[in-house]
Amino acid sequence: MNEMYLGLAAAVVGGIILGSYFTLFKFSNLTVNQYLFIMFIFSTLTLAAFLVYSKEPISFRLGDLNFPIVSGILFGIALFLVFFSIKSIGINRAAAIYVGLQLVVAAVIGIAFFNELGPLSSIQRLETTIGIILVLSGIILISVAKL
């Protein structure tokens, strides 16, 4: 049970950090490319430090690289597009759109590929579906709003 609480705490702290680190970009005078380049250097060093000091072995086979490589490419493309959108349409509108879509895409993938609605009751499935619809509605409203 302690692992569940640690996971929830990690999700909350990670969400707060992810929600706020884009704000630092707005204070910067750097271009998107310059900012991302510097950010990737220091995020890689930070992650490397966590990996070196973790208790998990770092060894793996070449066949294990497929998914992380694709994820890394997708993550790089997504971050570039998010930073570009922040520069173009502002952090409030860009963040609302990309965070909302992240929630919807993650939920749909969890439902479609991992059957995460399987153990839920009919009411809980309906609530989940309504939640996804509300998030999509919010994204649409924020997108067209005159902020």
Per-residue model confidence as pLDDT tens digits over 38-85: 999 999 999 989 888 887 877 788 888 899 999 999 999 999 999 999
Q: 137 or 118, which is more confident?
A: 137
Mean pLDDT value across residues 26-41: 91
Domain spans, the chain: 21-89, 90-147
- pLDDT over 90 percentage in the chain: 42
Q: What is the 3-state secondary structure (H, E, C) of the chain?
A: CHHHHHHHHHHHHHHHHHHHHHHHHHHCCCCHHHHHHHHHHHHHHHHHHHHHHCCCCCCCCHHHHHHHHHHHHHHHHHHHHHHHHHHHHCHHHHHHHHHHHHHHHHHHHHHHHHCCCCCCCHHHHHHHHHHHHHHHHHHHHHHHCCC
Which whole number is the average pLDDT over 17-22? 83
What integer is the mean pLDDT of 87-113? Answer: 89
Q: How confident is the model at residue 142 (pLDDT cuts 50, 70, 90)?
A: confident
- pTM for this entry: 0.79
